[in-house]
């Protein structure tokens, strides 16, 4: 449902040249200015941060500028709480956004703790990627 709506709106913006972001350094045209979902990036994301970054993209950019960059501590949880407030006062929004922020926090910690274990060993990286796909 969301894919169809967002891609239809993106197509309408691109027809009116609202979605044109300019010419990139390699000479190709950038039509992602009004992109709100990256379907392949979302469906094949390997962690919660990638999923969040590829879903509701324009809102994420706005939340990053308005909340995340201005909050001194607990940036992720504050950003998700503002997003929950924006969606309304339904308890399931708060459960979802708090759970998502916790998963991002845990994912960052696990990545930090296991980074050097996988750093110079390609076979470990391949095995990990295959097992966690």
The per-residue pLDDT for range 29-40, each reduced to its tens digit, is: 999 888 999 999
Nearest to 51 by CA among 43, 59, 63: 43
Q: Looking at residues 77-103, what average pLDDT do you find? A: 91
Domain ranges of the chain: 37-131
> What per-residue confidence (pLDDT) applies to 132?
64
Q: Is the pLDDT confidence value at 129 over 90?
A: no
Catalytic residue annotation:
56, 87
**Dist CA 10 CA 66 (whole Å):** 23
Element (H, E) at 112: helix 91-118
Q: Which two tokens stand for residue 34?
A: 């009004």
Cβ-Cβ contacts under 8 Å for 91 (sequence gap 6 or more): none
Q: pTM score, two decimals? A: 0.73
**Dist CA 133 CA 122 (whole Å):** 16
The per-residue pLDDT for range 42-86, each reduced to its tens digit, is: 999 888 888 889 999 999 999 999 999 999 999 999 999 999 999
Q: Quickly count helices (H) and strands (E) in the chain.
A: 7, 2
């Amino acid at each position: 449902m969301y894919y169809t709506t967002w891609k239809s709106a993106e197509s309408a913006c691109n027809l009116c040249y609202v979605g044109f972001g300019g010419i990139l350094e390699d000479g190709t045209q950038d039509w992602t200015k009004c992109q709100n979902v990256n379907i392949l990036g979302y469906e094949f994301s390997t962690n919660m941060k990638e999923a969040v970054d590829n879903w509701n993209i324009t809102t994420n950019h706005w939340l990053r500028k308005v909340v995340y960059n201005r909050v001194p501590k607990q940036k992720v949880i504050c950003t998700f709480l503002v997003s929950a407030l924006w969606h309304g006062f339904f308890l399931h929004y708060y459960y979802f956004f708090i759970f998502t922020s916790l998963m991002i926090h845990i994912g960052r910690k696990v990545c930090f703790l296991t980074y050097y274990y996988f750093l110079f060993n390609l076979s470990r990286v391949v095995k990990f990627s295959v097992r966690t796909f």
